[in-house]
Structure 1
Amino acid sequence: MRVSEAINSRRSMRVFKPDPVSKADIEWIISNANRAASNGNLQPWKLYVTMGPARQRLSAAILKAMDENDLGPGAEYDIYPREFKPVYDQRRKLVGKQLYTLLGVPRGDSAGMLRQFRKNYEFFDAPVGMILCVERGMGNGQWIDCGIFLDQLMLLAREKGLHTCPQAAFSRFQHVVRRELKIPDDQIVICGLALGHADPDAVPNNLVTERAPITDFTTWFSE
């Protein structure tokens, strides 16, 4: 698979098959993603991989916390801007409308939206659930490094015929994730990553998000 093919076929999948993923394939993906560029070669990423009963325990613990309104301190970073500029707000609302229309969840159906949101914490039934962290003392540049590493995990998964879904939602229950996976206090939970065989027939997996033309964000200088 060419890099461009991996990029253009990568989508956030929200329905996975129960088919297992071999540990050898997961190790191959991680080992190659570890070649990601990082400022000063710090390689700041910390990765926790859950499978089988361990993944199920993590999911069950978070859902239990939701049911008991044990929200904890929430995410340790701003997942979204504190104030949206119109262009970004429009993009966010459009993808939300597209997704929930495919799911058959009408606007205002808070119960339906909550049911879908809870599936995040089951990694959308993917057999592999990863948690990406970074040490608390790292700078903003190392968060960029972790983003590069995350992207390479997703693209390398495509080479193996697998799909993923990056999930910032896990940062909201970082207190549960930290407890269940024994993550040290000096690490920040950035996000989760569902990995597995996507169900091509599942309606939510048909969502292909729009992308802005490069003229919207590129400025050229030649002289």
Structure 2
Amino acid sequence: MNVSEAVSRRISTRAFLADPLPETEVRDWLTAAQRAPSGGNIQPWRTIVVTGQARSDVISDIGSVLETFPEGQATEHPIYPPDLWPPYETRRRRVGIMLYETLGIQRGDLAGRRTWFQRNFEFFEAPVGLFLILDERMGHGQWGHAGMYLQTLALLAEERGWGTCLQECWGMVRPALKTHFALGPGEMVWCGMAVGKPDGSHPVNTLRAERANLEDVAELHGFP
């Protein structure tokens, strides 16, 4: 598989097989991702990877928090800016509509939507969960570098026949995760990632989010 194929094939996988991922393969994957771009070679990321009982403990702890805070916990770093504007909010709503249509969940079925959304906090049953940790003192540049690291992880996973889902939803429970993992005073969980072998039989994995036309997002200057 070449890079173009990995980019084209990568999707947000939301249904996984139960097959475990061996520790040696996970270590190789993380080691390879260390070649991700990093301005000044700072490498601002840190990861916590959970499987087995450690994964179950996260799900259990966060589940109890969500019962108390159904809308999530207060955070200084919201997942989206308040009052997100077009075309960005339009795109966000559109992919949500596409997701629930693929699942056969009707627009007015709020209970069904909530039940599905809760699966985020079970890693969509993926055998491995990854959390990306950042120091809150880092600037916007370092957040960008961490994003490149996540993309590198996702593409290397694709090469290995694994699926991934980058899960910003874990930002809803950052304080609880900080406590669970005993993070340092300045550390925070930026986002999570579900990792495993995709379940090709599940309809949700047929969803391919739409992308904007090139002319809507790019300008080319100086070409003959």
Question: What pairs with 1:194-213 in structure 2 (closer than 5 Å)?
Answer: 194-213=194-213
Q: Is the 8 A contact 1:168 1:191 kept in 2?
A: yes
Paired residue for 1:33? 33
Paired residue for 2:53? 53
Paired residue for 2:119? 119
Structure 2, gaps ≥5 residues long: none
> What is the root-mean-square deviation in Å for CA atoms of aligned residues?
1.5
**Alignment coverage as a number of residue pairs:** 223
User: CA 1:92 to 1:143, structure 2 compared with 1: closer, same or farther past 3 Å?
Assistant: same
Residues 170-198 of structure 1: CA distance to partner in whole angstroms, max 9, x if unpaired?
11111221222222221121100000011
Paired residue for 2:4? 4
| TM-score, normalised with respect to structure 1 | 0.95
User: CA 1:84 to 1:67, structure 2 compared with 1: closer, same or farther past 3 Å?
Assistant: closer
Question: What pairs with 1:145-164 in structure 2 (closer than 5 Å)?
Answer: 145-164=145-164
Q: Is the 8 A contact 1:50 1:128 kept in 2?
A: yes
Q: Is the 8 A contact 1:72 1:175 kept in 2?
A: no
AA in 1 matched with 2:130:
M
AA in 2 matched with 1:13:
T
Residues 189-219 of structure 1: CA distance to partner in whole angstroms, max 9, x if unpaired?
1100000011011011110111112111111
The CA distance in 1 between the partners of 2:181 and 2:124, in whole Å, is: 19
Q: Percent identity?
A: 37
| TM-score, normalised with respect to structure 2 | 0.95
Paired residue for 2:16? 16
User: CA 1:128 to 1:76, structure 2 compared with 1: closer, same or farther past 3 Å?
Assistant: farther
Paired residue for 1:90? 90
Question: What pairs with 1:159-178 in structure 2 (closer than 5 Å)?
Answer: 159-178=159-178
Residues 35-61 of structure 1: CA distance to partner in whole angstroms, max 9, x if unpaired?
111111100001000010100110111
Paired residue for 1:217? 217
Structure 1, gaps ≥5 residues long: none
The CA distance in 1 between the partners of 2:45 and 2:75, in whole Å, is: 18
Q: Is the 8 A contact 1:71 1:173 kept in 2?
A: no
User: CA 1:175 to 1:71, structure 2 compared with 1: closer, same or farther past 3 Å?
Assistant: farther
The CA distance in 1 between the partners of 2:81 and 2:172, in whole Å, is: 15
- Shift of residue 24 of structure 1? 1.3
The CA distance in 2 between the partners of 1:75 and 1:202, in whole Å, is: 34
The CA distance in 2 between the partners of 1:98 and 1:70, in whole Å, is: 24
AA in 2 matched with 1:11:
I
- Shift of residue 150 of structure 1? 0.4
The CA distance in 2 between the partners of 1:147 and 1:69, in whole Å, is: 28
The CA distance in 2 between the partners of 1:30 and 1:55, in whole Å, is: 18
